[in-house]
Structure 1
C-alpha cells in the first residue's frame, strides 16, 4: 500500500470515474486502474463497484476511503508543521466563495496576495453556500468565504467584516425621493431575486419581512430569477423592479446616474456577516491567516465592526 494509491482512491471517489480521476492525478487511466487493482488484490476486497456510473465505493470501500483520508490528512499535517517551523508559505489553498461576494471582494485583494505569496497557489471555486458547505465536508475545499448563517452546523467560522445592504432603485421609482430607506418602505413584490440557492435571495426576503410564497402569489409582473447579480442591475435600469446590493458593489458603479439610484438604510442597517468557514480538521491555518490579513487590509474600517446593524440571514 502506498500514499499514491490512497490519493488515487480519493480522486476516484471525487470524480466518479477513472478517466477524470486519472487526469486530476496527472497519470494515464491504465496506470491509475492498475494501481487500484493492485491495492484491491493486496487488501483482498473490492473498493469500488465498476458496474455503476458514476462509480461508487462498496461498503468496505467507504470505510477504506475514510481511513485513507485520515492518513493523507496526517501526511499533509506533517508538511504544514515543517512549513510553519521554517516560516514558509507554500502549497495550495482551495477556496470556495459565493458569487455575490467573489465579484466584488476578489479584485480588491487577489493581486496583492499573489505578489506577497508567490509560492501559494490559490484554487478558487465560485459556488453557492450549500455547495461550499458540502464541499468542505467532502474535503473538496480547504476554506469557504460566505455570508455566515445563524447555524453553521459542525463547522467553524471566523468573521471578516459586516457588509451593509443598499437598495438599488429603478429610475423614477417612488422611493427615489427619500434620502434613506427603512425596512417598512420595502414591498417584496417590487424586488428582483436571485435564484434559489443564493443566500442573497433569502437575505432580501428577510429584509423585506416577508416570505417567498407570499411574493410568488402576489406578483403580477414577469418573474426574473437570475443567478447573476449584474443581470439584476441591468433589469433594474429597465424598470422591472428593484434589488438589494452588497456595499462593496458600489465601488464598481462608475455611472453617476446609477449612483443616484442607490439608497442606504436608516438604523438598524440590514447587514450580512461575511467570514471564513472551515472544518475542525482544517490545518493550513497559516495560509488562511495570510489570506485574512490581505482581505482586511482592503476592507473599509467601518465594516470591521457591527455598529447600528441588523444581521440578516
Structure 2
C-alpha cells in the first residue's frame, strides 16, 4: 500500500469518474486503474462498485476512504511543519465563502492578505454552506467562511464575529414609521427571501416565524439568489426583507433611510472560519483569521460589542 494508491482512490471518490480522477492526479487512466486494482487485491476487498454510474464506494470502501483521507492529511502535514518553522508560506490557499458574506466582507481584507503573502496563490469560491462542508471533507478547499453553528461531525469552527440583522423596507411600508422594529413586525405580509440553499434564508425564516403565518397571507412573494436583487425589488415594489449588517455599510443615503435596527436583544448571526478537524495550513489559516479581524469595519466591531444579542440559527 502506497500514498499514491491512497491518493488515487480518494480522487476517484471525489470525482466519481476514473478519467477525471486520473487527470486530477496527473497520471493516465490505465495507471490509476491498475494501481487501484492492485490495492484492492492487496486488501482483498473492492473499494468501488464499478457496476454503477457514477462509480460509488462499497460499504467497506467508505471506511477505507475516510481513513485514507486522514492518512494523506497527516502525510502532507510533515512538509507543512517544516515550512511553518521557517515562516515560509507558499502554495495554494483555497477559500470557500457564502454569497451573503463574499461581496461585503472580502473587500475589507483580501487585498492586504494577498499583499502580505505573495508566494501564496489564493483561490476564492462562492459556495453555499452545504458545498463548503462537502469540499472541506473532500479536501478541495482549505477553509470556509460561513455562518455557524454548523454542528457537523469532523468540522472545526473558529468564531470571528457576530453580525446584526437589520430590516430593509419599501418607502410605503409601515415599518419605516418606527425607529426600531421587533420580531412581531416581521409577521406582516410582504417578506422577500433568498432562494433555497442559502443559510441566510433559513435564518430569516426562523427569525420571522414564517411557518406561523396560518392566516392565509402569502409571506413568500419572491425568491432570488442575490441580496442586491432583493434590495432593488423592494426599492421599486413593496414589502421588506432582512439584511446582514455588512451589506448596509456602503449604502447611499436614500437606501439607508429605509433601514431599521431591531429592539434589544438584537438578532445576530455568528460568522466563523470552518476547517476539517485535521486541517492543514494551520499557521496560514491563523494569519488569515488575524487579517480578517484587523480589517473589520469599526461600525461592526462596535455593534457586536453593544448590549445583548440573540443568535439566529
For 1:307, the equivalent position in structure 2 comes to 306
Q: CA RMSD in A?
A: 2.5
Name the SS for the 1:180 alignment partner: coil
What aligned pairs does 1:205-220 form with structure 2 within 5 A after superposition?
A: 205-208=205-208, 210=209, 212-215=210-213, 218-220=216-218
Structure-2 change in CA distance of 1:276 and 1:216 (3 Å): farther
Shift of 1:81: 1.0
- What is the match of residue 267 of structure 1? 264
Question: What is the CA-CA distance between 1:117 and the residue it aligns to?
Answer: 1.1
Q: Give 4+ residue runs of structure 1 displaced > 4 Å after superposition.
A: 41-45, 150-154
- Give the Cα separation in 1 of the matches to 2:276 and 2:219: 43
Asked if structure 2 preserves the Cα contact closer than 8 Å seen for 1:171 and 1:239, the reply is: no
How far apart are 1:118 and its partner, in Å?
1.9
> Per-residue deviation at 1:45?
4.2
Which residue number in structure 2 is paired with residue 135 of structure 1?
135
State whether structure 2 residue 242 is matched by structure 1 residue 244.
yes
Give me the TM-score of the superposition, normalised by structure 1. Answer: 0.88
- Pair 1:270–1:221, CA change in 2 (3 A): closer
Q: Give the unaligned 5+ runs of structure 1.
A: none
Given that 1:168 and 1:242 are in contact with CA atoms closer than 8 Å, whether structure 2 keeps it comes out as: yes
Map of 2:107 onto structure 1: 107
Residue 294 to residue 173, structure 1, CA distance change in 2 (3 Å):
same
TM-score relative to the length of structure 2: 0.88
Structure 1 residues 65 and 185: alpha-carbon distance in aligned structure 2, compared to 1, 3 A threshold? closer
Alignment check: 8 A CA contact 2:191 2:220 kept = no
Task: Determine if contact 1:270/1:312 at 8 Å carries over to the other structure.
Answer: yes
1:167-204 Cα deviation digits (max 9, x unpaired): 11112222223233233333253211122332212222
Match of 2:283 in 1: 286
Count of aligned positions:
310
Q: What SS is found at the alignment partner of 2:70?
A: helix
CA contact (8 A) 2:245 2:300 kept: no
Q: Which runs of 5+ in 2 are unaligned?
A: none
Of 236-245 and 151-160, deviating more is 151-160
Q: 1:78 — aligned with what?
A: 78
Tell me, yes or no, if the aligned pair for 1:8 and 1:25 is still in contact at 8 Å: yes
Matched, 1:227 2:209: no
For residues 20-79 of structure 1, give each alpha carbon's deviation from its aligned partner in whole angstroms, at most 9, with x where no partner exists. Answer: 212322334344334333444555543322211111123443343233222211111101
Contact persistence 1:194–1:227 (CA under 8 A): yes
| Aligned mates of 2:75, 2:15 — CA distance in 1 | 22
Closer, same or farther: CA 119–310 of 1 in aligned 2, 3 Å: same
C-alpha separation in 2, matches of 1:201 and 1:215: 16
Deviation at 1:222, TM superposition (A): 6.8
- Aligned counterparts of 2:305 and 2:203: Cα–Cα separation in 1: 17
